[in-house]
Amino acid sequence: MSTKKLEKFIQAPSSEVFLYFTNSTALKDWLCDVATADPRPGGRLYMWWNGDYYTSGEYLKVVKDELISFTWFGRGEPHATRLDVTLKKRKTGTLLKLIHRKLGNNSKWVGIGDTYEKEWSRNLDNLASVLENGEDLRITTRPMLGIFINDFNADIADKLGVPIVQGLRLGGVVEGLGAQKAGLKSDDVITRMDGSEITGAASLSTFMHDKKTGDVVEVTYYRCSDKVTIPMTLSGRPIPSIPASGLELSKQVEPVYHQYEGEIESLLKANTEEDCAKAPNDNEWSVKEVLAHLIHTELGWQNLVSEIMSGHEGAYDDFGGNIQAHIDGTVSTFTTKTDLFKELKNHNSETLSMYSHIPVEFLSRKGKFWKLAYQANQNSYHLQTHLEQMRSAIASAQKQ
C-alpha cells in the first residue's frame, strides 16, 4: 500500500477548517458538487461531482477542531482508502496535514495515487482561498459560455422542430461573451462540445471542469431541425467587486433593480393589458407570464439566501425547469399587469432589505458571504434576458 501526504497552512481558525470537512454544505463550498455528511464515528459521508465520479465512506474518528478520519471508496476503485486530516492551531491560523492512506500499488491503481495528490493539492488551495478571502477558485478561474439555460423535454423539442430529446436548450445569451459572439441564440439546443455529449447543466459543468479562458471548443447544436457545428472561444468570467457588508451589497445591486424596474414599467405603460397577456406561441411566455417568472425567481433567491446564511443548502442533480402551473397560478392571482409588477417590486425591495439586515457575525464566514454576494451580482444577466423576452412578446402580440 502507498500513502500520499500534504500540508497546507490556512489563515483561519481550526474551528472553521473543521467545519469545512464535516458539514454537507461547507464541503460543497470548496470540494464537491453534492455532499451529505454525518460527522460521528460510523456516520455516513457521500460526495458527488458533476459527471460520473462519486465517493462514499464513513467517518472513523472525529475530534472537534483537531482530527477528522474517514474512509473513501471512489467509483471504479478496487477498494476503500482512508484519509486522516489533522488540524494544528497556530497564532495566525491552522496547519492542516492530510494523509491519504491504503492506496494500492498494483496495476489496478496505476495513476490513481498521483491523481489524488494533484487533486488534493488543488482543492486544498481552494479551501484556503474560500476561508481566507471567500473566493471559490472553481468559479473565478473557470471560463464561461455566457448562456442562460431553459427547459427542454420531448414536448418542447417537438414544438421547436428539434429532432432530439436530450440537450441543453438556451434561454438567452450574454452580450459580448463567447456564445453570443459565436452566433448562438435563444432556443438553440447544444448537444455536443468537443465531441462530449451535453445533456444538461451537469454534463456542461463536467465538460468545463478543466477548461481555460481563451480555449476554442467545437460546439454542435440544433436550431430547429438544422444541425450546426461551430467553433466557440470560451470567455473569461467577470468577477464583481465583493462589498464589505450586507448594507453595501444592498447599495451595490440596488441600481440594477431600479434600472430594470424602470424599463419594465415603461414597457407596461406603453402596451395594453391584452397585448401583455398574449404569448407568441405555445412554447413562449407572454409579458405577464414573464413577470410571474421573475416573481418566482426572486422568491427562490430569497430562500437560497436564507439557506446560505443558515449553512444548510439543498442539493439538486440538475436544473429542474419551470413549472407552468405555478406561472398560471400567479397570473390568475395577480390578474393585471399592474398587480404583477407591483408584486415583483415588493419582492425586489424585500431582497434589498434582506441584504441590509445581514448580521455582522455572518461576514466572518468569508466563503459564505462571498458566494452570496457573487450570486447577487449575477442577477442583471437574468433580468436583461427576460426584458428582451418581454419586448419580443409585445412585438409578436402587435402582429397578431
400 pLDDT higher than 90: no
The pLDDT of residue 209:
81
What's the maximum distance between 2 C-alpha atoms anywhere in the chain?
Answer: 74
Contacts of 139 (CB under 8 A, 6+ apart): 237, 374
Handedness of CA 390, 394, 396, 397 (dihedral sign): positive
Determine how many CB atoms are found less than 10 A away from the CB of residue 263.
15
Helix/strand/coil for 176: coil
The pLDDT of residue 205:
86
- d(C-alpha 381, C-alpha 384), whole Å: 5
Contacts of 345 (CB under 8 A, 6+ apart): 261
Residue found by looking up cell 473565478 in the block:
140
What letter represents residue 36's amino acid?
T
242, 373 Cβ separation under 8 angstroms = yes
The pLDDT of residue 202:
83
- d(C-alpha 343, C-alpha 61), whole Å: 51
- d(C-alpha 59, C-alpha 388), whole Å: 51
Cell numbers given for 16:
472553521
The pLDDT of residue 399:
87
In this prediction, residues 301-311 reach a mean pLDDT of: 96
Residue found by looking up cell 465517493 in the block:
55
- Nearest one of 160, 203, 202 to 185, comparing CA atoms: 160
164, 189 Cβ separation under 8 angstroms = yes
The pLDDT of residue 167:
96
Q: How confident is the model at residue 329 (pLDDT cuts 50, 70, 90)?
A: very high
Q: How confident is the model at residue 17 (pLDDT cuts 50, 70, 90)?
A: very high
96, 8 Cβ separation under 8 angstroms = yes
Cell numbers given for 312:
444548510
pLDDT tens readout for residues 350-384: 999 999 999 999 999 999 999 999 999 999 888 98
320 pLDDT higher than 80: no
- Nearest one of 72, 125, 73, 76 to 99, comparing CA atoms: 72
Q: Please give the domain boundaries of the chain with CATH numbers for all domains.
A: 2-133 (3.30.530.20), 147-233 (2.30.42.10), 246-399 (1.20.120)
Cell numbers given for 212:
481555460
Q: Where are the alpha helices (DSSP H) in 83-200?
A: 112-133, 137-140, 154-160, 178-182
The pLDDT of residue 238:
86
pLDDT tens readout for residues 182-221: 999 999 999 999 999 999 888 898 899 889 899 999 999 9
Determine how many CB atoms are found less than 10 A away from the CB of residue 32.
19
Bridge partners, 323 (sequence order): none
Whether the pTM exceeds 0.75: the reply is yes
Percent of the chain residues past pLDDT 90, beyond the cut: 86
Helix/strand/coil for 84: strand
318 pLDDT higher than 80: no
Q: How confident is the model at residue 50 (pLDDT cuts 50, 70, 90)?
A: confident
104 pLDDT higher than 80: yes
User: In what helix (H) or strand (E) does residue 333 lie, and over which residues does it extend?
Assistant: helix 324-333
The chain-wide mean pLDDT, for the chain, equals 95
In this prediction, residues 64-80 reach a mean pLDDT of: 96
Cell numbers given for 229:
457545428
Give the phi and the psi of residue 24 in degrees, each rounded to 5: -55, -50
314 pLDDT higher than 90: no
pLDDT tens readout for residues 126-148: 999 999 999 999 999 889 999 98
- d(C-alpha 194, C-alpha 215), whole Å: 11
DSSP letter at 58 equals E
∠373-376-382 over CA atoms, to 5°? 155
